[in-house]
């Protein structure tokens, strides 16, 4: 189906204007970035292909450019849009984390990545972010998250507290036993150092889970 065949209220560009970016699905956002399709394929078809590549193999100009109807110019445009969002998310160094929802929003760039990414947010006394750092890429476990790596940076940034967050590529937001064990280990080290762990949030394209809400005894 082509964009012209959709009623106005269902067209991505009209929807983003009338309802805002939060109302659009990923493929609709991609359609807005692409603007139009070509003689052979509609922008909706192109957007579905792009979403599949981005959510399975990540963002890559060569890989996107291989898709019929995309080419290097549109692939570069898509990659620039994704990278812009990622950098803006990282540069918002004064975000205030008052609730798990705030942490989830700050992790928007990792929720659809094909590998688990563990992030640490270093906070000041007002719970404002001083820095965000990727500690590991891969399966989150107590053996992969060493307190030394986490708190060395926390001390160098003069952080008053920290928050952990990581994505589940499977879409599940249920904490694993490894997630719980790693959280316990970091929380204990934080208490000893006087740099408390405030929360550990698991996020995915289906939502998020706060381990502080789930296991308050850890914190």
At residue 3, the pLDDT reads: 64
What pLDDT, in 10s, does the model give residues 165-202? 999 999 999 999 999 999 999 999 999 999 999 999 99
| Residue recorded with tokens 């849009």 | 81
Cα torsion 190, 91, 136, 219 to 10°: value is: 30
User: How do the domains of the chain map onto residue ranges?
Assistant: 3-90, 93-218
CB 69 within 8 A of CB 87: no
Buried/exposed 55-67: b ≥16 CB within 10 Å, e otherwise: eeeebebebbbeb
CA gyration radius for the chain? 20
For the chain, give me the number of helices (H) and strands (E)?
9, 5
State the Cα–Cα distance between residues 104 and 57, nearest whole angstrom: 22
| Domain 93-218 CATH assignment equals 3.40.140.10 | yes
- 31: tokens are 């359609």
What pLDDT, in 10s, does the model give residues 29-51? 888 888 888 777 888 888 888 88
Instruction: Report pTM.
Output: 0.60
Q: Mean pLDDT in the chain?
A: 86
State the Cα–Cα distance between residues 114 and 36, nearest whole angstrom: 28
């Amino acid at each position: 189906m082509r964009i012209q065949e959709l009623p106005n209220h269902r067209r991505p560009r009209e929807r983003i204007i009338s309802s805002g970016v939060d109302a659009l699905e990923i493929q609709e956002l991609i359609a807005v970035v692409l603007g139009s399709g070509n003689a052979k394929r509609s922008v909706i078809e192109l957007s579905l292909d792009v979403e599949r590549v981005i959510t399975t193999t990540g963002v890559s100009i060569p890989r996107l450019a291989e898709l019929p109807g995309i080419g290097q110019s549109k692939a570069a445009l898509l990659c620039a849009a994704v990278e812009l969002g990622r950098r803006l998310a990282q540069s918002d160094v004064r975000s205030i984390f008052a609730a798990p929802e705030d942490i989830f929003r700050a992790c928007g760039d990792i929720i659809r990545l094909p590998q688990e990414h563990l992030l640490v947010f270093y906070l000041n006394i007002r719970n404002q972010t001083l820095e965000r750092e990727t500690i590991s890429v891969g399966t989150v476990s107590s053996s992969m998250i060493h307190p030394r790596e986490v708190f060395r940076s926390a001390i160098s940034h003069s952080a008053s507290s920290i928050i952990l967050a990581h994505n589940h590529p499977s879409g599940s937001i249920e904490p694993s036993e490894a997630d719980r064990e790693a959280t316990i280990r970091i929380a204990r080290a934080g208490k000893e150092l006087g740099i408390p762990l405030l929360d550990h949030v698991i996020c995915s394209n289906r939502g998020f889970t706060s381990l502080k809400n789930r296991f308050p005894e850890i914190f």
